Structure 1
Amino acid sequence: MRVSSPILHPYADGLVVATKVGVTRPSPGEWVPLGRPEYLRRLKVERIGLLQLHRVDPQVPFADQIGALRQLLGAGGVAHIGLSEVDVVRLKAAAAPDGPIAAVAVELGITPAQASLAWLLRRSPVILPIPGTRPVAHLAENVAAGEVALTDGQFARLSAVGA
């Protein structure tokens, strides 16, 4: 990891750098959840030892937030991911993206939602998915899924999920 602070560099052997993402501070004393995948992926270092989702953004599907963290994990930018202040239901859901959809998403550098949409679009020329697009960022992600080219192997793995 490149670090500009002389206090932390050089690292002692075994030191793990951890940080949290998922909130922004628009003004003093105000913390707002921010879990959009493009925000979660904007690391400005080569590698983080532990990246924790500090708050779940209620405006962004939880699977998309976990998917963005898993992409960083799969790309090697993060050694471990963690969650703060989540309930058991979300903790179990976070473990579930380890399946074929999450794996294909990591392989292609896209969100699990985009992988699912790409599969639907390839499955049949007469299928027109209508995914939820509350924020504009979701609209852009959903439209981008139309450009995703799944390999035959990826398509087969995704098809097996629903079989």
Structure 2
Amino acid sequence: MATTTLTNDSLIVAGKRVPRMAFGAMRLADPQIWGPPSDREHSVRLVRRAVELGIEHVDTADTYGLGVSEDILREALHPYPENLLISTKIGQVQPRPLEWVPVGHPWFLRHQCEMSLRRLGTDCIDLLYLHRADPSVPFLDQVGALRELQQEGKIAHIGLSEVDIEQVDTARSVITVAAVQNIYNLTTRTWDDVVEYCSQAGIPFVPWFPVMNGDLARSGGVADRIAAETNGTPAQVALAWLLARAEVMCPIPGTSSITHLEENVAATDIELSHEQFAALDAAGTH
């Protein structure tokens, strides 16, 4: 399997023109996303390799490894290149391994932002997402807390994660929404309407968990057949479908493997025909 560097296929996200393929940093932590990895040096090398391959957009969150992911990004990349966009997320806690709970009280969001600033070693976060809307706190109070932090110069741009169209519209009444990050892939199409909304509004859509699972990922399926036709892998085909799905799409595949990282980056070289895209699109909606 060949590796490559990213193409010039780019998009302006949070004021920076970056390649559309990004890197999700959740897997820098341990397998349960609960603490440090067993081999921290490997995680540092992984991040540096991503940048070597042309990645200019790295996405993390304060809950990934209870802050470990942000710590490793600072160790690996600080002082950050001027062209590098680092986004992180607040508004969620992890009371035990693999369990996340939204907490959106404004005072707590401020605390989380301050801790992310400290771990990342910066005075201003390029792009800060509300990780999850807390149903027990008025939504505009949560958005307003991020707006205050932006007004204080601690956030350059604000994003929203796992939100519907109504929430995006509500937020846009008081802030500029720089990006929307929802789960989305070939077989998880819950947020098709939000993708269309973002496409029409020109808002970058950042799909997390961008590689499909289930039947389409298995040997002999449509993705496997098209992978053979394009000299790629099913995972690369899934990422190529996302890039073709909408011009505002910015996938953030995550991995703890340098080999898989290189495979993800190489997905930008796969060009799907109209017929291949349509076959994948139809298979993914069943």
Q: Distance in 1 between the 2:149 and 2:104 partners?
A: 14
Match of 2:107 among 32, 35, 38: 38
Taking only the aligned residue pairs, the percentage that are identical comes to 49
Name structure 1 gaps, 5 residues minimum. Answer: 99-163
**Superposition RMSD on alpha carbons, in Å?**
1.6
Q: Distance in 1 between the 2:127 and 2:153 partners?
A: 12
Match of 1:84 among 150, 153, 161: 161
1:121 corresponds to: none
The one-character-per-residue Cα deviations of 1:97-151 (angstroms, maximum 9, x if unpaired) are: 25xxxxxxxxxxxxxxxxxxxxxxxxxxxxxxxxxxxxxxxxxxxxxxxxxxxxx
1:6 equivalent in alignment to 2:6: no
User: What are the within-5 Å matches in structure 2 for residues 106-145 of structure 1?
Assistant: none
Q: Distance in 2 between the 1:29 and 1:17 partners?
A: 24
Q: Distance in 1 between the 2:148 and 2:132 partners?
A: 18
TM-score, length-scaled by structure 1: 0.55
Q: Distance in 1 between the 2:84 and 2:98 partners?
A: 31
Q: How far did residue 90 of structure 1 move?
A: 0.8
TM-score, length-scaled by structure 2: 0.32
The SS at the match of 2:137 is: coil
The one-character-per-residue Cα deviations of 1:48-102 (angstroms, maximum 9, x if unpaired) are: 100001110001000100000000111110000000111111111101125xxxx
Q: How far did residue 6 of structure 1 move?
A: 2.7
Q: How far did residue 18 of structure 1 move?
A: 0.8
1:23 corresponds to: 92
For the pair shown, the structure with the greater C-alpha radius of gyration is: 2
- Which segments of structure 1 move beyond 2 Å, counting only runs of 4 or more? 3-6
- Larger RCO: 1 or 2 (CA < 8 Å, sep 6+): 2
Q: Distance in 2 between the 1:6 and 1:52 partners?
A: 22
1:62 equivalent in alignment to 2:139: yes
Q: Distance in 1 between the 2:139 and 2:170 partners?
A: 8
Match of 2:127 among 12, 28, 50: 50
Q: Distance in 2 between the 1:63 and 1:21 partners?
A: 15
Number of aligned residue pairs? 96
